[in-house]
Amino acid sequence: MDNIKHNYRPGDVVELIAVRKSELGVFLDAGTGNTNDDILLHKAQQTEEIAVGQAIKVYLYKDPKGRLTASMRLPQMQEGQVARVEVINTTRDGSFVNIGAERGVFMPHAGRRGLPKVGEKVWVKLYRDKSDRPAVTMEVEDELRQASRPAENIKVGDTVTGSVYNYSDQGAFLFTKERFIAFLHNDEMLERPRVGAELTVRVTYLREDGRLNVSMRLIKENAMDVDAAKILEVLRTRGGQMPYSDASPPEIIKEKFNISKAAFKRAMGRLLKDRLVEQREGWTYLQNNEDGK
> Would you state the pLDDT for residue 4?
44
CATH number 3.30.565.10 is the correct assignment for the domain at 148-215: no
The kind and range of the H/E element at 90 are strand 82-90
> Would you state the pLDDT for residue 221?
59
For the entire predicted model, the pTM comes to 0.64
**What is the fold of 13-71?**
OB fold (Dihydrolipoamide Acetyltransferase, E2P) (2.40.50)
What is the distance between the alpha carbons of residues 236 and 243, in angstroms, rounded to a whole number?
13
> Would you state the pLDDT for residue 290?
47
Nearest to 70 by CA among 82, 61, 83, 80: 61
Query: Which CATH code of 3.40.50.300, 3.40.190.10, 1.10.10.10, 3.50.80.10 fits the domain covering 220-291?
Result: 1.10.10.10
Q: Which amino acid is at 235?
A: L
Query: Which CATH code of 1.20.120.1200, 2.40.50.140, 3.30.365.10, 2.40.160.20 fits the domain covering 82-142?
Result: 2.40.50.140
Contact predicate 219/261, CB 8 Å: no
Question: Is there a common fold for 13-71 and 220-291?
Answer: no
User: Which residues of the chain register pLDDT less than 50?
Assistant: 1-4, 289-293
Per-residue pLDDT of 233-291, as tens digits, reads 999 999 999 999 999 999 999 888 888 888 899 899 989 988 999 999 999 999 874 44
Structural domain boundaries in the chain: 13-71, 82-142, 148-215, 220-291
The kind and range of the H/E element at 165 are strand 159-167
